[in-house]
């Protein structure tokens, strides 16, 4: 079973990389962008076949390793 996870920075955390990407987009002519926030994307292929169990395990992975909950949020977006 494949599961996808998106990690994003929390709202109040400064994202200097996102800011620079925004500035660069602006310089390229994409001047209608309000804000850019950079995040991380994971695809996890697990042996677990039960949807709920797989989701629970990935959630544990997020809490213990994939995300740092002081600054990041995680979202499990895809189960297939």
Partner 1 sequence: MKSSVITFPGSNCDRDMDVALKKFGFKNKMVWHADVELPKSDLVVLPGGFSYGDYLRCGSMASKSKIMQSVINFANSGGMVMGICNGFQILVETGLVPGVLLRNKYLEFICKNVFVKINDKKNKYFKNVDNEVLEFHIAHNEGNYFCTNDQLKEIEDNNQIAIKYCDENGKIEDQFNPNGSIKNIAGIFNKEKNVLGMMPHPERMIDTSLSGEDGSLFFKNLINNLK
- Name the site residues for partner 1 (rule: CB under 8 A): 13-14, 16-17, 20, 65-66, 68, 70-71
CB of 24 to partner 1, least distance (A): 12
Rounded to whole angstroms, how far apart are CA atoms 63 and 58? 9
Q: Are 3 and 79 in contact (CB under 8 A)?
A: yes
Q: Provide the phi-psi class of 29: left if phi over 0, else alpha when psi is between -120 and 50, else beta.
A: left
Q: With respect to partner 1, which residue has the nearer C-beta, 44 or 71?
A: 71
| Rg (the chain; Cα; Å) | 16
Q: Are 10 and 67 in contact (CB under 8 A)?
A: no
CB of 50 to partner 1, least distance (A): 26
CB of 49 to partner 1, least distance (A): 26
Q: With respect to partner 1, which residue has the nearer C-beta, 13 or 56?
A: 13
Q: With respect to partner 1, which residue has the nearer C-beta, 28 or 70?
A: 70
């Amino acid at each position: 079973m494949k599961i996808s996870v998106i990690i994003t920075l929390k709202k109040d955390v400064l994202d200097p990389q996102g800011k620079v990407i925004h500035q660069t987009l602006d310089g390229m002519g994409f001047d209608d962008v309000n804000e850019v926030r950079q995040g991380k994307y994971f695809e996890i292929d697990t042996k677990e076949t039960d949807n709920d169990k797989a989701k629970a395990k990935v959630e544990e992975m997020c809490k213990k390793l994939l995300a740092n909950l002081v600054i990041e949020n995680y979202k499990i977006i895809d189960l297939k």
